Structure 1
């Protein structure tokens, strides 16, 4: 229990112990192939790269310094000297908590200090050997398989990595069209054929989903898309915003194509850069007309949480995915899950997705997820809304049954 909050009460601990026994599905990652990770030169600062870098940046660290500390080999003492002032400002955040849990589990130190930064760096290098992914994901996390984004389709890690592909989007200029679809794209039919080939190739190579960004859907027609394509191809200097008829039309066509190829539409909603573009409610026009298309709604739409929950409440083809959520804020994740259990059938929630490219940090996030889920379920038991048996059933469904059923996974 050393990795969990000491404030957990007896009932929360009982539920947590049961959740720890489960073998689970990890519903979203960004893991590079293990061979790529092993070719790198990780050090203590690697643990404070993915997601922690955002808190370092907003605490005042400039991007050049960040890149030199987090992603490039260098003198450890010099790195620490530049890192420490900003680390001290953000070491209490949820992003940092996952890093600290990870560091304690695998490298024996609870926080990074001037005295242990060399020790942690040495231990990370020593552990960066073949089998790292299995030691973390299979042995420490009890993960059956991870749904992954950005990895090559052929990287399946003996069936433990289930790849998705990114949708073709951001067709905003002639350069974009040629780069993403080829230089023989002269008509809308050419575009659609290229997109269909891309989605078909994903299916042929055992992808399980296509990842989309939840950009606004304004009702663009085929004619609108054709006119926009002709306009862009006519002048290489033109550059439209992402919210344009061609982009929207191709987005909707790809979602149908994904469905026709038995692939899940994995939707990034909410938090990221200009998150105003990515409200879950943007998807409503498509969902209303396409209730057969499987929608896996990432991040509970944060900060548009209730918009996301309402899509799960109203539409049978929508699932709510809690990937990334516990890292953003355990308080938000607790409140969202508390509300969802009250509102949604028990097959609607996916309980965990690490959402990391640093594999060890998946463990830290999973600890925070189990902790939060246990606290919510215990609350429901104390309130007499659930029996303990029913609470554990819901916990198992969130972490195992629901993703398995929706994606059609085989253990």
Structure 2
């Protein structure tokens, strides 16, 4: 009896250990295909890594501007996003401002930086400079022993052709769509969108009249104001803009009500009649005019059939109101402008489920995952799984670096390809889709969809 009990306990213990250490096989809830042939993981990874990306959103400085800077050090790759993690970790803003003050010796700036770097290097923002250091400069870490070497390597790399090398050769990006206002850019590397938020987010009459002066229009009425918007829009078309971007979620709610012209005119007249001694109208009082102007902008976007990119979700920086940027606040616009392609930015982090519903229900709503992988790779992975299951594959754009430096764009593209590869591999491993379908989805979300949506016909 004792022997039998001992044997039972031994078998039970082995079964418990098996449950702890043997991973269950991935099985999709909807299994529609036979299991893939051996080696599919490597084939999917290779296919994803070889796709020439159409990058839907960047804030790059021109190469002329970057090469015009006199000196560089390793803080060059810490200027965006990670800076806010440093502040979130407790770095005083006064200290952060000193990091880019080149009159302070680099060794002193490193000592100011080091304790906060240790706290932030494990965030997704923090992984970006580490990838840059390793992949572009051959330096495996950023620490006491390497920061001087990294600074020298960055300085040495600043030669003409660096943009082309990093974007085309390393990141395998064919075209990046820039959000840098009303400027012309090299079509070898870039296309561009323009913003007209200044025509919407107005509070005072001097703000309004100044907008008219740019286009030789004396604004005395609401009709004049709309005419100035038309002139600005035409100037964008003349510069070959391929879309319009709105970033007003940083400043106000993205709920834009339909407002009658009569109501908008009354507010315009109230603003125009106020003298400089009076304080501006508050947001609630001026909101109907702002909303009216957004609708007039969308009339133009609709008329000229170009995409409309909208910031939703997380705002960079600190102290912003996340409730202003929920994608469902745009619901009425999707109804009222069925001909406008709304590209919803940043995967609406943290409102991914709401975006799933909107992109599924509205033919004119598209998912854009720009910025998303460096906000949270796990969120990007989780929702890419969901969006593949809920949203037609021709409505997902899977990469926009959203950076001001080519180095950081490269690192972001590395993270994006890894996440996409992981998601598609799991979809195939579970039997949800075939290897061929997975590679087809990858080509769509990294390249083909952006070409179709932005009419980049020369890149087909």
Shorter-chain TM-score: what band? over 0.9
1:308 shift after superposition = 1.7
Q: 2:101 and 2:423 mapped to 1: Cα distance? A: 37
User: Which of 130, 152, 163 is equivalent to 1:100?
Assistant: 130
Q: 1:151 and 1:256 mapped to 2: Cα distance? A: 20
2:263 matched residue in structure 1: 224
Alpha-carbon distance change, 232 to 151 in structure 1, aligned in 2, over 3 angstroms? closer
| Unmatched 5+ stretches in structure 1 | 1-8
1:159 shift after superposition = 3.2
Alpha-carbon distance change, 191 to 71 in structure 1, aligned in 2, over 3 angstroms? farther
Q: Secondary structure at the match of 2:406?
A: coil
Pair 1:352-2:383 in alignment: no
2:452 matched residue in structure 1: 405
1:297 matched residue in structure 2: 344
| Unmatched 5+ stretches in structure 2 | 1-37
Q: 1:373 and 1:21 mapped to 2: Cα distance? A: 13
Q: 2:89 and 2:436 mapped to 1: Cα distance? A: 44
Check the 8 A contact 1:32/1:151 in 2, yes or no.
no
Pair 1:383-2:430 in alignment: yes
Aligned positions, number: 402
Residues 198-253 of structure 1 deviation map (CA, whole Å, 9 limit, x = unaligned): 11111111111111135112222222221221122222421422870111111121
Q: 2:212 and 2:118 mapped to 1: Cα distance? A: 46
1:393 shift after superposition = 0.5
1:73 shift after superposition = 6.0
2:203 matched residue in structure 1: 172
Alpha-carbon distance change, 72 to 187 in structure 1, aligned in 2, over 3 angstroms? farther
Residues 90-148 of structure 1 deviation map (CA, whole Å, 9 limit, x = unaligned): 11000011221111111222321122111111111111111111011111111110011
Q: 2:181 and 2:41 mapped to 1: Cα distance? A: 36
Pair 1:332-2:379 in alignment: yes
Q: Within 5 Å, which residues of 2 pair with 1:42-53?
A: 42-53=72-83
1:39 matched residue in structure 2: 68
TM score, norm. by length of structure 1 = 0.93
Q: Secondary structure at the match of 2:142?
A: coil
Q: 1:71 and 1:148 mapped to 2: Cα distance? A: 28
1:4 matched residue in structure 2: none
Check the 8 A contact 2:181/2:195 in 1, yes or no.
no
Q: 1:100 and 1:152 mapped to 2: Cα distance? A: 33
1:309 matched residue in structure 2: 356
Select the structure of larger CA radius of gyration. 2
RMSD: 1.8
1:23 matched residue in structure 2: 52
1:151 shift after superposition = 5.3
TM score, norm. by length of structure 2 = 0.84
2:388 matched residue in structure 1: 341
Residues 282-322 of structure 1 deviation map (CA, whole Å, 9 limit, x = unaligned): 21111101100111111111112122222211111221100
1:6 matched residue in structure 2: none
Q: Within 5 Å, which residues of 2 pair with 1:316-327?
A: 316-327=363-374
Alpha-carbon distance change, 13 to 123 in structure 1, aligned in 2, over 3 angstroms? same
1:5 matched residue in structure 2: none
Q: 2:241 and 2:137 mapped to 1: Cα distance? A: 34
User: Which of 213, 228, 241 is equivalent to 2:283?
Assistant: 241
User: Which of 66, 70, 79 is equivalent to 2:96?
Assistant: 66
1:263 matched residue in structure 2: 306
Pair 1:127-2:174 in alignment: no
Q: 2:232 and 2:181 mapped to 1: Cα distance? A: 15
Mean CA deviation greater in 100-109 or 341-350 = 100-109
Q: 2:245 and 2:147 mapped to 1: Cα distance? A: 37
Q: 2:289 and 2:400 mapped to 1: Cα distance? A: 32
2:29 matched residue in structure 1: none
1:191 matched residue in structure 2: 225
Q: 2:245 and 2:331 mapped to 1: Cα distance? A: 17
Mean CA deviation greater in 15-24 or 337-346 = 15-24
Q: 1:221 and 1:301 mapped to 2: Cα distance? A: 30
Runs of 4 or more, structure 1, over 3 Å off, are: 9-14, 70-74, 178-183
